[in-house]
Structures are given as structure tokens and as C-alpha cells.
Structure 1
Amino acid sequence: MTNTANYETDFLSWTQEQSALLRPGQWAQMDREHIAEELEDMGREQKLALQSLLPEILLQLLKLDYSPAQAPQGRWAEEIIELRDQAQARIDVTPSLKHHAPELFAKAWQQSRRAAEKTFALHHAAVRLPEHCPYALEQVLNPDFFPDSACD
């Protein structure tokens, strides 16, 4: 069985085989092309993880800040804390994500705004959301930041 066939048919076995070849430096036998692809994919996965967390944090902030409902605010705040912890854990493990955060944040705002509009509409709440994000990236990731309206 060649390295390529093993990669395509049994990924776990392929990873173990490649690790066993890597440690003693048996470069010629290694499946370099697939290894390079996997390393690139690992980097993309870290970026995608942060990309999925930012809209969720923003959505919860919008709910907390703009929702006329009072009851679920504690749950939204708890969710913000949990999502921020997950985002910070990603950044701690992969510090270069900070360089991608502004780009991801810009995309996240539009996603969050659309999701919030739909959420409020489902609950028949007439809420007018701002066109531009009312929060800075630093606020969104700051574990101590909550909108002023949440403290009223």
C-alpha cells in the first residue's frame, strides 16, 4: 500500500505512519504533499474556529444590548463569557490569530446583525439595530466588557 492510498483510505493509520517516519528523519519515505496539505488545513481550522466564535459573541452582545426582554439576560451574559473563553483559548494556543482577528471581525458583524434581526423578528420584537458595529474588537474579546444597557 502506498502512502497516498493509505492517506485516502485510513487517515489515522497514515498519520501514525508519517509520525513514525518523521521522528527518525526518514524524509524520502514521507508523504510530503499530503503532510503539507494537512498542516495548511490545521492552520485554516484554527482561523475558522475564531471566525465562528466572533459572530456568536456579537450576536449575544446584541441580544443583551438591544433585546426588550429582560429574563434571559443572565443566560446571554453567561454565553458571552463562555464564547469569549473559547476565543481566548484559541488565541492563546495560536497567537498569530490576533493578526487575522480584524478581518474576521469585519465579516462577523454582518453575520451577527442578520442573525439578530431574524431572532428579534421571530419574537415579534421591533428592534432597530445599528448599521455599523457598536463594539470594538477589543471590547468583544474583553472578558470584563458588557454593554451599558445590560447594567441598567
Structure 2
Amino acid sequence: MNTCLHTADFFGWANQQAALLRAGRIAEIDREHLAEEIEDMGKSQHRELINRLTVLFLHLLKWQYQPGYQSNSWRYTIEEQREQIADHLQDNPSLKQKLPESIERAYKYARTGAARETGLPKSTFPEICPWSLEQAFDDEFWPA
């Protein structure tokens, strides 16, 4: 099997690998690259969780620390991220075990983003996420 196709034409390679799998021609599959791609798909799902948590935390921080600027746009972003995160975790239940690590990373990014977007010193925002998981995901929770 020509594994150079993986680099030269990923779309063609992926379709070829799928056809080989469906045909049961396991011996012809590019096992190493296929395994890497499957692992990368899992990493991508984890990155999506972190990205959505980052957006949620960023807007919760702005909501709390800039009450004079609260807007429907911020409210809708918070609501949407809560819904999207819930859906993502429902579609990928094993990601729930990664939540503590994901929250820690996402909050770190959100804190930096909040300082950049608000113009407030980074030290304004707590170093550790100030909300429990339940609060962050609660539709009725709006930090004051």
C-alpha cells in the first residue's frame, strides 16, 4: 500500500482506507497512519471541549467583572456554550473523565482572554476557576 498517499492526498487516502476496511482487506490497510488519524480524532474532540469551555468561562468572567457591559450577545453566547458543551459531552461521554483537566486549561485561557478583551489586569481575575462545574453549566447561574 502506498502510504505516501496519506501525505499527498489525504482525502483520497481516507476514502481508500475506508474502502479497504469495508472490503475486509485488512492486510492492505495503512495501519500506522490510520491509527494516528483515529487518535487525532479523539484529540480533536477534547480540544473542542476545551475551546467551548474557554468561551463559556471568558463570557462568565466578562459578565461578572464588567456588569455595565452585559448584553444579550454575552447572554446568548453563555447559553449557547452551555448547550453545546452538554451536547458534546452527551455525544462523547468518555470526555467527562477529562473535565477537571479541561476546566483547568480552559479557565487559564479564558482568564488571559478576559484580561485582553476587558483591558483589566489579569490579576483582577481569580487564578483558579471560581465556579463549580454545576454552576458553570447551570442555566440559572449568572455570576454577580
| TM-score, with structure 1 as normaliser | 0.84
Q: Percent identity?
A: 38
Q: How does 1:77-88 map to 2 (within 5 A)?
A: 77-88=75-86
Q: Does 1:14 align with 2:13?
A: yes
- Measured in 2, the distance between the counterparts of 1:18 and 1:120 equals 48
Structure number, greater radius of gyration:
1
Gapped regions of structure 1 (runs ≥ 5): none
For 2:68, give the aligned amino acid.
A
Gapped regions of structure 2 (runs ≥ 5): none
- Measured in 1, the distance between the counterparts of 2:15 and 2:135 equals 42
Distance 1:143 1:68, change over 3 A: closer
- Measured in 2, the distance between the counterparts of 1:47 and 1:132 equals 20
Q: Runs of 4+ in structure 1 displaced over 3 angstroms? A: none
C-alpha RMSD over aligned residues: 2.0
Q: How many residues align?
A: 143
Q: How does 1:61-140 map to 2 (within 5 A)?
A: 61-70=60-69, 72-121=70-119, 128-140=124-136
- Measured in 2, the distance between the counterparts of 1:31 and 1:138 equals 44
Q: Which has the higher helix share?
A: 2
Deviations 1:48-76 (A, max 9, x none): 01111111100101111120424x43211
